[in-house]
Structure 1
Amino acid sequence: MHHVHHDLKVYGGIKLFAGTGSPELAQKIADYLGQPVSGREVIEFPNENLFVKLNGSVRGQDVYVIQTTSSPVHRNLMELLIMIQTLRLDSAARITAVVPYLCYGRSDKKDQPRVPITARLVADMLEVAGADRYMTLDPHAGQVQGFFSIPGDVLTASHLLVGHINRNMRQDMKDPVVVSVDLGFAKKGRNYAADMDMPIAFIEKRRHGNDANAEALTLIGDVKDRDVIIVDDEVDTGGSIAQAVNVVKNNGARNVYLAFVHAILSRNGAERLASLPIKHIITTDSAPLTPEKWKFLEGRITVLSVSELLGEVIKRAHEGRSVGEMFNE
C-alpha cells in the first residue's frame, strides 16, 4: 500500500504537441519521454490566417506544447497561441507552453520615452490564450519571469555548455579565461567562470541609437597569451560577438572560443561568425540552425541538445516532483 501515492496523478497522461518552429527538437524531447508527438494539422489559408485542428481528444490530459519563437517569429508565436487556445477549448486539464527560445525578450523595460514592453505583452498573450504554465530557457532578462502571473520553469542551459567545455576542451586550453560580452551579462558570465573555475574579464560596451549595432570599447581584465571563452545568452546578428573577438584578439588573446545558448544568427550572422578568427563555437538547439547557416559553420560548431533537459523537466512537472533537485538546488 505504501507505493500508492506515486500513482495518484492529478492530471491524465502526458500529451506532447509541437508547432512547426522546432520539429527536430520536439521529436528529441518525445523520444526522451518515450511518448509520441500528438497529431495535429496546422494550415495556412491563402489570406495568411492560421488554422489548427487536433487529430485526437485531449480532454483531461496534461498537455505540453513545444514551440520555439525564433524566425519566423510572428508565425511561430501565433501558431503557439492558436494551438494553446485549441487545446483549452478541447478541455485539456493543464496546458504548459514549452518555449525554448522566447521572442521579444529584449523588450523588457521602458529604457526611453514612448516605447513598449513587448515581453510583458507576449506573457499576457500566452496567459489569455489559455496556458496554465510555461517553460523557457535563458531569457535575455531575469525580470521576464515577473511578467507572468502563471507559474513557470525558467531554466538555464549554461550547465550543458560548461559540462561540454570541462569534459572535452578544458585539457587543451592554456590559462583559460571567461570573457563576458558586455556588462549586462557580467553576473551570468561570473556563473560560467565559477562553474569552470576560471577567472573572468569583461567588455564594456556603449550603445548608440536603437539599431542592433553597438560600439565595443574597453576590456576589463587580462587575456594576454590566454585562451578565451566568450560567453553570451544569444547571438543575433553577431555584431557584439565580432567586436568582442576583435577586442580580445587586440589584447593578445590566444585561441578564442564562443559559448552561447541561443543561436539566432539573423541575416548574415552565421557568415559573420564564420569569418571571425575563432577556434570553435558551442551552442544549443533551442532555435534550429538552417542548412544554409550550418554550411558556414560546419566543422567549427558543436550544437548540444536541450531535449533531455526539457524532457526531464516535463517529466518532473507531470509527476509533481522538484525541478531544482536536478541542479542540486
Structure 2
Amino acid sequence: MTRNLDPHDVRLFSGRSNIPLARNIAQHLDIPLEETRFSKFSNDNLFVQLGASVRGRTVYLVQSMTPPVSDHLVELLMMLDIAKSAAAREIHAIIPYFSYARSDKKDAPRISITARLIADLLRTSGATHVMTMTLHSPQVHGFFSIPADPLTARMTLEQFIRQRPLDPKKDVVVAPDMGRAKPAARFAAGLGLPIASADKTRVSDTEVKIGGLIGRQVEGFEHALVYDDEIATAGSVVELSEVLVESGIKRITLICTHGLFLGPAVERIKSIPQIQEVITTDTVERPSERRPPNLTVLSVGNVFAEAIRQNYLRRSIGELFEGMET
C-alpha cells in the first residue's frame, strides 16, 4: 500500500464521474476520500460543497470528463474554485480521461480549439497542477500554462497481456491508424511482438474508412491485438477488424486505455465474432449496457496513487515510467 502522505495535510475529493476509481486511489494512498456534496436548485443550477476543510492543505480533485461531459466539467471547475476560495495551498486536478484532447486544432472555420480553452479554464478556476492519462493528441500537453503530467496505462496493460503465452509468429499488434503507430510500436516491443498499422480516413464523428494495412501485412498471423488510446463508438476498431478477418486473422483482442463504448459501440463489437476479448482500464466508469462481451477492466488506481505520492513528496513522476510513453 502506498504511504508517506500526511493525512492531516492532504485532502482527496471526487466529482461524480468516477467515484470507484477515486476510492481505489484513496485506498492505495491510505487516506480517506472526503465527502463532496452535490445537489441542484429548482432553476437547474448546480450546488457543490467540499465536506472537509482545505485551508492551507494540499488538495487533489478526481474527475473524468465522461458523459455528461459538460456537467462533469462544471463540477470540476466549481470544485477547483471552491478549493481556491477556501485558501488551499495546492490544488491538483486529477483527470483520468480528458475528453477534449480530441479538439486540439482548428480544422474548420469558426470553431474553438477546445482543448486549449479547457486548459485555460482549469488554471483560471484554481488548478495549480493537472494530472491525466493517455491524451488522444499528445500535443494538448503543451496547451497547459501550469504543470501537467500525462500518465500512461501501458505498463498496466502490458503486465496483464504478458500473463498469457505469446508467439511472435502467431500474434501481431495492430495500430488502427498512423497516429497511434508509435505508441502501438512501443507496446509491441514491450511484448516482443511484431507491429502492423492501418491506413484510416475519418468520414464523420462515428464513421471511418480503413484503406488497408501499411507496411507489414498480417497474412500468416492468427491473433491480432488492436491497440488504441480510446474506443468511443468503436467505428475504427470494428472497421479494422473486418479488414483483419479478411486477411486471415482468426482471433482479435481490442486493447485501449479509455473504453467509453458509446452509442452503437457494443453492437458493433458483437457483430465481429472474431473479437474475443476487450481489455480496458477504469479511467471511465460505464454502466452495464455499455459493457461489451468478454470485457476485462484493469484498474489504474495504483498508477494515479503512486504519481500523487511522487508529486506530494517532490519526487520525479517520470521515474515511474522510465522507458514508457503513452
TM-score by length of 1: 0.92
> Deviation of residue 265 (structure 1)?
1.1
Q: What residue is the counterpart of 1:177 in the other structure?
A: 172
Aligned-partner SS, 2:155: helix
1:19-46 CA-to-partner distances (Å, cap 9, x unmatched) read 0000111111111111111122111223
Residues matched between the structures, number: 317
Shift of 1:196: 1.1
The alignment status of 1:223 with 2:218, answered yes or no, reads yes
Shift of 1:170: 3.2
Would you say the 8 A contact 1:206–1:216 is kept in 2?
yes
Unaligned stretches of 5+ in structure 1? 1-6
User: How far did residue 192 of structure 1 move?
Assistant: 1.0
- Provide the residue aligned with 1:254 in structure 2: 250
Q: Which residue of 2 aligns with 1:282?
A: 279
1:95 aligns with 2:88: no
Q: For 2:165 and 2:60, how far apart are their aligned partners in 1?
A: 37
Aligned to 2:130: 134
Distance 2:149 2:99 in 1: 16
State the distance in 2 between where 1:67 and 1:270 align: 25
SS in 2 for 1:233: strand
Match of 2:207 in 1: 213
| C-alpha spacing 1:164/1:173, structure 2 compared with 1 (3 Å) | farther
The 5-angstrom pairing of residues 263-302 of structure 1 reads: 263-277=259-273, 278-294=275-291, 296-297=292-293, 300-302=294-296
Secondary structure, aligned partner of 1:104: helix
Return the TM-score normalized by structure 2: 0.93
Deviation at 1:116, TM superposition (A): 1.6
Establish whether residue 240 from structure 1 lines up as the match of residue 236 from structure 2: yes
Q: Alpha-carbon deviation of 1:246? A: 0.4
Structure 1 residue 73: Cα displacement: 0.5
In the TM superposition, what are the counterparts of 1:42-53 in structure 2 within 5 Å?
A: 42-53=38-49
The Cα shift of 1:215 comes to 1.1
Corresponding position: 1:324 with 2:324: no
For residues 306 and 274 of structure 1, the distance between their equivalents in structure 2, rounded to whole angstroms, comes to 26
User: What is the CA distance between 1:323 and its match in structure 2?
Assistant: 1.3
Q: How far is 1:159 from its partner?
A: 1.6
Q: Which amino acid aligns with 1:78?
A: V
Q: Can you list the C-alpha shifts for 1:157-207, whole angstroms capped at 9, x where unaligned?
A: 12211111112x234886211100011111111111111111111110122
Counterpart contact for 1:207–1:213, Cα < 8 Å: yes
Cα distance in 2 for residues equivalent to 1:222 and 1:155 = 31
State how 1:299-314 maps to structure 2 within 5 Å: 300-314=294-308
Whether contact under 8 Å (2:57, 2:90) holds in the other structure is yes
Q: Distance in 2 between matches of 1:26 and 1:8?
A: 16
Q: Aligned-pair RMSD on alpha carbons?
A: 1.9
Q: CA contact under 8 A between 1:271 and 1:293: conserved in structure 2? A: no
Tell me the amino acid that sits aligned with residue 175 of structure 1.
Answer: K
Map 1:8-23 → 2, pairs under 5 A: 13-23=9-19
- Partners of 1:326 and 1:104 lie apart in 2 by 26
Q: Alignment partner of 1:131: what SS? A: coil
> Identity over the aligned pairs, expressed in percent?
39
- 1:166 maps to 162
2-side partners of 1:170 and 1:232: how far apart?
21
Q: CA deviation at 1:12?
A: 6.4
- Alpha-carbon separation, structure 1, partners of 2:229 and 2:303: 17
- Aligned-partner residue type, residue 183 of structure 1: M
Deviates more, 1:224-233 or 1:266-275: 266-275
Contact residue 224 and residue 254 of structure 1 kept, 8 A: no
Counterparts in 2 of 1:232 and 1:187: CA distance versus 1, 3 Å: same
Q: Which position in structure 1 is the counterpart of 2:30?
A: 34
Of residues 46-55 and 281-290 in structure 1, the stretch that sits farther from structure 2 once superposed is 46-55
Give the equivalent residue in structure 2 for 1:25.
21
Contact preservation (8 Å) 2:16, 2:72: yes
Which among 199, 202, 215 is matched to residue 197 of structure 2? 202
